[in-house]
Amino acid sequence: MQSFDILYYDGKTSVSHQASLSLEKDYWLIQYDQEFEKQSVRWEVGQVERDMGFNSLFIFRYGDFPRQTLECKDENLLIELRQLYPDKAFFDKKLNVLLHKNTTVLVGLTLGLIGILLVSYFYILPWFSEKVAEHIPVSTEISLGDTMFENTINHYKKNDSLTARVNDFVKEIDFKTNYPIKVTVVHEDDMNAFALPGGNIIVFDKILGKMKSADELAALLAHEVSHVHYRHSLKNIFRSLSGYLVISLLFNDINGITAILADNSNMLLNLSYSRNLETEADEKAVEILKANGLNLNGLVELFTLLESETNKVATIKLLSTHPLTTERIAFAREVARQQNAPVKKENLEKKWQAIGAERLK
């Protein structure tokens, strides 16, 4: 029987004993000299445990606290152990195999991990951010939207009188939402309108100037309000900022989120909604218009106006943000056709005239 050179610690003092270890069937025998006397220690095999090993030092422990310890550097010990006690789990440490034997496995795992991270970043994270957006309290959303509005509006020249008229117009319609709707008209040579989270809607005066009826304006507003109502803007922002968002949440830094959102307010212009979100907003808009007894032809006119503008001008932002498809126009035509002839709303008509008078100035 082979014996191995080991270092033995008895668990009572720090003395390092040069000892020899011999392996028997049921026990290990450790022998060393102390004060000129031969000492021997018996370890029952069943109670020997090996430390999870990461280097070429093999460490075994035995007994109750404070445990005895032996250290061995001899690789043959492992071979011997494997032969002598094939069923004893001295080798079941997965890490050992991973770390010592298999670089390929490790590289594979690393790539796998990077893959998981990429998938989470590009798919899971955006999805998750949308879910988070759904659960932001309305009051938080409104104050967030107000901050963003303050930042956005600085980039534009506000038209105060038109803004007042359009808001009068808004009051005549029940938009079926709990969000406080506030429209701001700004001077901009672009056919555009967009919704901020929490109820602020910014309309460019050019699109207002091209409209021919109250129903058309009502349709535009109903559509934008629907984006607000379903939190499309918030969800989109969260999606595109999901990376920052998670980091901020990790560090529990709500102020950070607000700051980032404020910095990125103007990106709202460039955000495009997915087709599903547009359809959802169109449907809700139809519902609002119907409930208010408004003529759905307004929606048809609005889409047609936008479509005609596409053909004329190359850079129409509203179209990149609201992908107009023939399907959407067809949808608007269909709902308008089914509608019973709505009665003209006199109050609304008056407000529309007021807007008309104002925009001529």
Partner 1 sequence: MEINHSDSRQVSFHGEGSKLFGIYIVNLLLMIFTLGLYYPWAKAAVLRYVYQETEFEGSRFAFHGTGKEMFKGFIKAVGIFVVIYAILILAVWSRNNVILSLGMITFYAAILLLIPVAIHGALKYRMSRTSWRGIHFGYRGDLKEFVQEFVIGGLLTIATLGIYSFWFTVKLRKYIFSHLRFGNIEFAYNGDGTEYFKLNVKGYFLSLFTLGVYFFWYVKDLFAFFIDNLEMNQEGNVLKFRSTATAGGYFQLIAGNLLIIIFSLGLAAPWATVRTINFIFSNIIIDGPLDTDSIKQTEMDYSDATGEDISDMMDIGLI
Indicate the residue among 10 and 172 with the shorter CB distance to partner 1: 10
Local structure of 115: helix, strand or coil:
helix
From the list 24-32, 111-119, 150-158, 342-350, the region that binds partner 1 by CB under 8 A is: 111-119
Asked whether the beta carbons of 317 and 353 are under 8 A apart, the reply is no
Counting contacts by CB under 8 A, is residue 33 touching partner 1? no
For residues 151-161, one letter each, b for 16 or more C-beta atoms within 10 angstroms of the residue's C-beta and e for the rest, the string is bbbeeeeebee
**Measured from the CB of residue 44, what is the shortest distance to partner 1 in angstroms?**
18
**Measured from the CB of residue 253, what is the shortest distance to partner 1 in angstroms?**
14
From the list 90-98, 144-152, 158-166, 211-219, the region that binds partner 1 by CB under 8 A is: 90-98
Could you say which of 79, 84, 98, 313 contacts partner 1 (CB under 8 A)?
98
**Measured from the CB of residue 16, what is the shortest distance to partner 1 in angstroms?**
6
For residues 231-259, one letter each, b for 16 or more C-beta atoms within 10 angstroms of the residue's C-beta and e for the rest, the string is bbbbbbbbbbbbebbbebeeeeeeeebbe
Longest Cα–Cα distance of the chain, Å, equals 116
Residues 6+ apart with CB under 8 A from 144: 136, 197, 198, 234, 258, 261
Could you say which of 28, 32, 68, 317 contacts partner 1 (CB under 8 A)?
68
**Measured from the CB of residue 261, what is the shortest distance to partner 1 in angstroms?**
24
Indicate the residue among 77 and 195 with the shorter CB distance to partner 1: 77
Window 34 to 53, contacts with partner 1 (CB under 8 A):
51-53
Size of the site for partner 1 (CB under 8 A): 32
From the list 65-73, 155-163, 260-268, 286-294, the region that binds partner 1 by CB under 8 A is: 65-73
Window 293 to 332, contacts with partner 1 (CB under 8 A):
none
Local structure of 4: helix, strand or coil:
strand
Window 3 to 32, contacts with partner 1 (CB under 8 A):
7, 9-16
Asked whether the beta carbons of 231 and 133 are under 8 A apart, the reply is yes
Q: Which helix (H) or strand (E) holds 292?
A: none
Residues 6+ apart with CB under 8 A from 266: 151, 152, 155
The site for partner 1 (CB under 8 A) is made up of 7, 9-16, 51-55, 57, 59, 65-69, 71, 94-95, 98-99, 106, 109-110, 112-113, 116
